Amino acid sequence: MTIKLCLDCDHEIDLGLTPTMGQRVKCTHCGVILEIISTDPTELDWVYDGPAVNVDWGKSWWRLSTPSTDR
Ligand SMILES: [Zn+2]
């Protein structure tokens, strides 16, 4: 079992037996959503919600508001 401390309130967060990259966990104390960004060692980071999630900023961010014209 892996325990990490919440980045916001230092409350212990149980990551389960096998933390995986990209896994999201919620602090039961303050409710913040954190994401596992590394598993060796296990590191948490804040999840940045919004329309830009999972966007490749290098080449396609401007397509967000463009209707898909793919055939
Ligand atoms: Zn917290």
DSSP strands (E only) in the chain: 3-5, 12-14, 24-26, 33-39, 42-46
Query: How high is the pLDDT of residue 67?
Result: 61
C-alpha 46/C-alpha 41 separation (Å) is 17
For residue 25, the domain's CATH number is 2.20.28.160
Ligand 1 centroid to Cα of residue 10, in Å, is 6
Ligand 1 centroid to Cα of residue 70, in Å, is 42
Q: pTM here?
A: 0.65
Ligand 1 centroid to Cα of residue 68, in Å, is 39
Ligand 1 centroid to Cα of residue 22, in Å, is 18
Inside any domain, residue 16: yes
Query: How high is the pLDDT of residue 4?
Result: 96
Inside any domain, residue 69: no
Inside any domain, residue 31: yes
Please give the tally of structural domains in the chain. 1
Ligand 1 centroid to Cα of residue 60, in Å, is 33
Inside any domain, residue 63: no
Query: How high is the pLDDT of residue 29?
Result: 96
Inside any domain, residue 45: yes
Query: How high is the pLDDT of residue 66?
Result: 57
Chunked in runs of 10, what are the mean pLDDT values of the chain (71 residues)? 95 94 95 95 86 57 59 67
Query: How high is the pLDDT of residue 17?
Result: 92
Domain containing 27 equals: 3-51
Q: What does the block give as tokens for 50? A: 């919004």
